[in-house]
Amino acid sequence: MKSVIELDIAAPPSRVAELFDDPELFPRWMDDLERVERLSGDPGVRTGARYRMVPKQGTLVFVVTVIGRGAPHRSHLVLDAPTVSVSVTGKFSDLPGGRTRLVSEETFMFKGLLGRLFGLLGYFSVKRAHRRHMEAFKRFVESG
């Protein structure tokens, strides 16, 4: 299952990418995230770095691996949990007036029969959560 969200943000791409790539800031804009725990490497900078995302409620803890920071305007992560893996790509394009077009693409791969069933039943909930997170990120960036 794939979810793609496009938003225009009133900040330059370098700033948007910097904030998007900093996991220590995630709890400030992801309302359902309790904390981020560093596991290895420098999560905001290094390919191969790993960290854990711990939710405020529930037990779905993701271990995140930084796959790449292609150009300064691209980010790629893989989130892994027992029932699902998520490939997350952020692309940041220049717009006039120092603005950025953020394209956030999340591809979900549900594991096992129960995971696939949840994926089918939870399709719209997953897309709503993705949009909610990206709109919260936009507000975070634009609030300074």
> Is it the case that residue 111 has pLDDT exceeding 90?
no
Q: How confident is the model over 43-59, as a mean pLDDT?
A: 84
Of the listed ranges 13-27, 75-89, 91-105, 106-120, the one predicted with least confidence: 106-120
Q: How confident is the model over 18-29, as a mean pLDDT?
A: 91
The pLDDT, as a whole number, for residue 123 is: 75
User: Domain residues for 69?
Assistant: 2-142
In the chain, what percentage of residues exceed pLDDT 90? 58
Q: How far apart are the first and last CA of the chain?
A: 33
In the chain, what percentage of residues exceed pLDDT 70? 90
> Is it the case that residue 133 has pLDDT exceeding 90?
yes
- List the 99-110 sheet strands across, edge first: 2-9, 99-110, 84-95, 74-80, 62-68, 50-55, 33-40
Number of domains in the chain: 1
Tell me: the pLDDT tens digits for 61-83?
999 998 887 566 788 999 999 88
Question: In this structure, are strands 62-68 and 84-95 parallel, antiparallel, or unpaired?
Answer: unpaired
The pLDDT, as a whole number, for residue 127 is: 87
Confidence of residue 36 (pLDDT cuts 50, 70, 90): very high
Q: How confident is the model over 99-119, as a mean pLDDT?
A: 84
Q: How far apart are CA 60 and CA 58, in angstroms?
A: 6
CATH number at residue 57: 3.30.530.20
* Element (DSSP H or E) covering residue 95: strand 84-95
Look at residues 90, 132, 82 and name the one whose alpha carbon lies nearest to residue 107. 90
* Element (DSSP H or E) covering residue 39: strand 33-40
